[in-house]
Structure 1
Amino acid sequence: MRRPTKGTWRRVAVVSLTVVCVSYAPVAMTELWPYARPGAPAFGEWLLGRMVSPSYVADALATRIAPYRHSLIPMIVHSVLGGVLMLLGPAQLFTASRRRTRLHRILGVLFAVTVYASMASAALYLARTAPEDAFSGAAFWIVLATILLGTVLSVTFGVLAAIGGYPDLHQRWMLLCYGYLLTAPLLRLEWGALPRLLPGLPMTAINLVAIQHLGSLVVFGALIASRTLDRRSRIDGVTGSWAPLPVLVAAHLAGAAGLFWIARSYLDFGATGHRLLVAYLLPYAVAYAVMAAGARRAGREGRGWAREEWRLHLTALCLAPVLSVGAVPVLERGLDLDPHTALTAGVAIGCGMLAFAANVVVSMRVMHAREVLKRTVSADRTTAVGVSAPVA
């Protein structure tokens, strides 16, 4: 039997992503219609009610009427534009892969404008909603605010990279931006799937389980996509490593200490803490194994740039628990949260924020390499002129 090739897996991934995005678009666009007009069709509620149970959906959404009503127009704008973004994402992948440069730029401008408008509407909702009134409470409000900020900054850096003539960095930032956007459909999928693994839990509890790993999953997917599309073995001007062995060792030690603290803290919260800890650790372990294997394989094959990018992201992943541990007292005291809520929120945002930081470092690495190359070329030209100049 013939084994699937990398090209086959790539096509499967693109088709799967397209199916998820196109299927979710009408769900997103109609999600809030019933709040504006009772009885209006909402495909997401209808599907979820049949996947789990009508009471599972009704009990969760009954508490949303008051918080959504005072920000209904911004929320509807956000959800409708979110559905549009689900359609624009696969279209951008298609135009980029087919070298449709003009169409890709036009759709790219539309995509960026839509992201800004959608996130502005979401920001208005968050500003009008107290953290404790958000769905699943303050932890989810903090996660939403973090994703919003990451999405806006990612698309901004992507636009600036395109203007500055860095197509590789543009690609990375836009993939990260779309990864943040994909938290919405993936969360809905987990609303339907996790009740089979965790029967009896309400959607609010399922929501807290999902946010423990959604951030790490989407940024990990963006990294895999970036590494798949970037086939360069080396980049001129990139020498050495910004994540040498001593840095990696220190990051691993700090990360292990952070994971130990997180595990011990979650275990103090009984069955709920055990559930959230497993939801965090399993995806984290998978991401770590893939990054470590990717860096090792790239090193053996002599692909220096791939090894460097894997190692930078691996370092960030190791430091994510450290950021989470540091965020817990800040959230607890700054927002007057109870220890359990602060822990849940701090753990939920760690991997997503450090992946963003890793993208920043990768971008600085590429830009530094270009500057080194420019200086080398300039120095060579100066030397050539000095050698060819006639002696007086």
Structure 2
Amino acid sequence: MAQKEASMRFWGGLGNMLSLGFILSIVVAMGLSGWIALQEGTHRFMLPFTTENAVQRITDAVSVARAEPTLERLSGVSDELWALSLFSTAKRFTDSKLMEQGIYYATMPKSNQVAIAVHVLFSVFCVMFGGLQFWPAFRKRFMKVHRGIGAIYIATVPVAVVAALCYMALTPPHHIYDHLVAWVALWVFGVLALVSITMAIRALKARRIFEHQAWMALSFGCLLVAPLLRLDWALLVPFFPDIDQETLNLVTMGLMLPEVLLIVYGLVLVNRQYARPMKQRAAAAMADLGAALYLRSTPLIYGIAAALLAFNVMFYVVGHGMSSIEVASALVPAALIMREQSVLMAHPMIAAGFAVACGLAFPAAALTLKQCLSRTDDAAGASRGATSLLTPWLALAAGISSCFLGWRMGLAPHNAWLSGGTMYTVNGLVIAGFGALLLMARSNRRQALMKESLVFLLCLLPFPALFFLTLQIVSWLHLPADYIAAGQGFVLPAGASGSLLFVAIIHVVYGQATREHN
């Protein structure tokens, strides 16, 4: 007994340290990002309103920086690019299309300039101080400050987001540095930010603090898209010093969705850990509705599971990935298609293992979740059943094999094959992570956390099918040739492969694991 208590104290202490490190890294990184955004907002984005010859000034600054790419010269173009150059070289950015983007900011219509300036200036406070709201120790000690920051946050976020959406409505995708991928992502996260802020206010008025915190974490995560994009540029440059900025940007855009939503989940987990565990509350009405719909849809879900297994076998056992679908050749670089095909052909057993593990883990997770949601003896025994033990191991096998395939395709981005195997690697790591979390929750008989892990797995395991489905849909859009040349035909489907994570995050908000903490 004493040994068990000592082990619990050790893991509890380790969890507290990791939670504190996570929160502090968010606070520091976003604080610096907010400060840099303030410099950009008061200088570059205000330039057209404070100087008559703004276009000439920025054009001259770009010319000078390209002629002599130094930190000093680059600071004349952008404080943000100056800061990013500290992690690499000024030449990386002077050779990129970010220079033309800077000129466009000065030449675009006045309405666009007003919208982007309002967005940047109003979002500065949210980014700089928003992270403090999720630091439990800070919130407990400085509750008045917490409420003051929250009031300003709720007042400024809608203005910043609406201004951003106005800018997106007025600006064609080809005038945005990240093109169509960023245009779509910013619309999705912008609308979700407004919805989550509204729901957070409603939860606060109803004194459902646990839901309020989760909705606020989602709203904050939606605001991190632009800062995280820049932060990823800085962090990934040392690992991939030989590729150009545009290719590196495509990689970071492909990582953006899971990265943002996992940070949101991390913020919720940290606040759960520091919160006081409560006796089990009655399920939320939305959770009851979701559970009822899930149980009624079980035959449909099993049908989807059978289709996913057949799909995986067709594309990874009988076929060889993207080379098996005709539309891929029109949207994806031939070098990337051939690279994926060669890896799948060189490792047929791993490819088959990935297809089968993914295909079987989905129905196993669906059945285990059904047992957990049932108001019968199945729910009590779900954590002890054979299926609940098989599910995490299948998920671990799927995740590890996906990582292997991604690693063999190449993690280093390349101009010819874009982000290589990053999609397989990132999704594989997340699947394996939630497989391990499910195994731990089952071992500790934490049924609420089991349900949460199962929902994440059900949203993650179909990622190959979602990728190919989105690839087909994108082919119907008839993207311009320059969009395809810029990699948009691949990166958009790759990003969409994790889009069901939004469903998992909604479960986190309303699920029992969140409601069991104050």
TM-score, normalised to structure 1, is 0.79
**Match for 2:184 among 139, 142, 145?**
142
Deviation of 1:64 after TM superposition, in Å, equals 0.7
Which SS does the other structure have where 2:419 is aligned?
helix
Indicate conservation of the 8 Å contact 2:192/2:222, yes or no: yes
Alignment correspondent of 1:285: 428
**What's 1:236 paired with?**
281
User: How big is the shift at 1:257?
Assistant: 4.4
1:45 aligns with 2:73: no
Structure 1, residues 181-228: CA drift from partner, whole Å, max 9, x if none? Answer: 223222112222333333343322211110111210121122133233
After TM superposition, the structure 1 = structure 2 runs for residues 136-215 of structure 1, keeping only pairs within 5 Å, are 136-215=178-257
* Cα offsets for 1:43-75 (capped at 9, x unmatched): 322122332222222233222145423222321
| Structure 1 residues 65-144: aligned runs within 5 Å | 65-69=102-106, 70=108, 71-94=112-135, 97-98=139-140, 100-144=142-186
The whole-number CA distance in structure 2 between the counterparts of 1:176 and 1:79 is: 20
Paired residues of 2:87 and 2:238 also in contact (CA < 8 A): no
1:64-87 per-position Cα deviation (integer Å, ceiling 9, x unaligned): 145423222321222222321122
Provide the residue aligned with 1:254 in structure 2: 308
Deviation, structure 1 residue 277: 4.1
Whole-Å Cα distance in 1 between the matches of residues 477 and 209 of structure 2? Answer: 40
In the alignment, is the contact (CA less than 8 A) between 1:45 and 1:57 conserved in 2?
Answer: yes
Displacement of 1:329 after TM fit?
3.6
1:328 matched to 2:337: no
Native 8 Å contact 2:33 2:128 kept in 1: no
Aligned-pair distance for 1:251?
A: 5.6
The question of 1:13 aligning with 2:22 is answered yes
| Worse overlay, 236-245 or 305-314 | 236-245
Distance 2:123 2:229 in 1: 14
Asked if 1:356 is matched to 2:475, the reply is: no
Residues 292-307 of structure 1 aligned to structure 2 (within 5 Å): 292-307=435-450
Shift of residue 290 of structure 1?
Answer: 1.6
Which residue of 493, 513, 516 maps to 1:346? 493
Change beyond 3 A, Cα 1:67–1:199: same
Report how far residue 20 of structure 1 moved.
0.5
Q: 1:334 to 1:106 in 2, by over 3 A?
A: farther
**After alignment, is 31-40 or 240-249 more displaced?**
240-249
- Structure 2 residue runs of 5 or longer lacking an equivalent are 1-9, 48-53, 62-75, 337-413
Q: 1:301 offset after TM fit, Å? A: 0.7
Question: Following the alignment from structure 2 to structure 1, what is the Cα–Cα distance between the partners of residues 217 and 180?
Answer: 28
Q: Which residue identity does 1:359 align to in structure 2?
A: I
Cα 1:147–1:88, aligned 2, differ >3 Å: closer, same or farther? same
Does residue 308 of structure 1 match 2:350? no
* Contact 2:126–2:156 (Cα < 8 Å) also in 1: yes
* CA distance in structure 2 between the aligned counterparts of 1:190 and 1:100, rounded to whole angstroms: 32
| d(CA) in 1 for partners of 2:333, 2:78 | 39
**Secondary structure of 2:214's partner?**
helix
CA RMSD of aligned residues (A): 3.6
> Percent identity among equivalent residues?
18
Q: Gaps spanning 5+ residues in structure 1: where?
A: 371-392
After superposition, the Cα gap between the structure-2 partners of 1:46 and 1:355, relative to the gap in structure 1 and judged at 3 Å, is same
Q: Is the 8 A contact 2:261 2:505 kept in 1?
A: no
- Change in Cα spacing, 1:332 to 1:154, as seen in structure 2 (3 Å) is farther
Change (3 A) 1:58 1:91: same
TM-score (normalised: structure 2):
0.62
CA distance, structure 2, for counterparts of residue 133 and residue 78 of structure 1: 17
Against the structure 1 CA distance between its residues 331 and 148, is the aligned structure 2 distance closer, same or farther, given a 3 Å change threshold? farther
Deviations 1:249-289 (A, max 9, x none): 96697399479597655674535574424222222222112
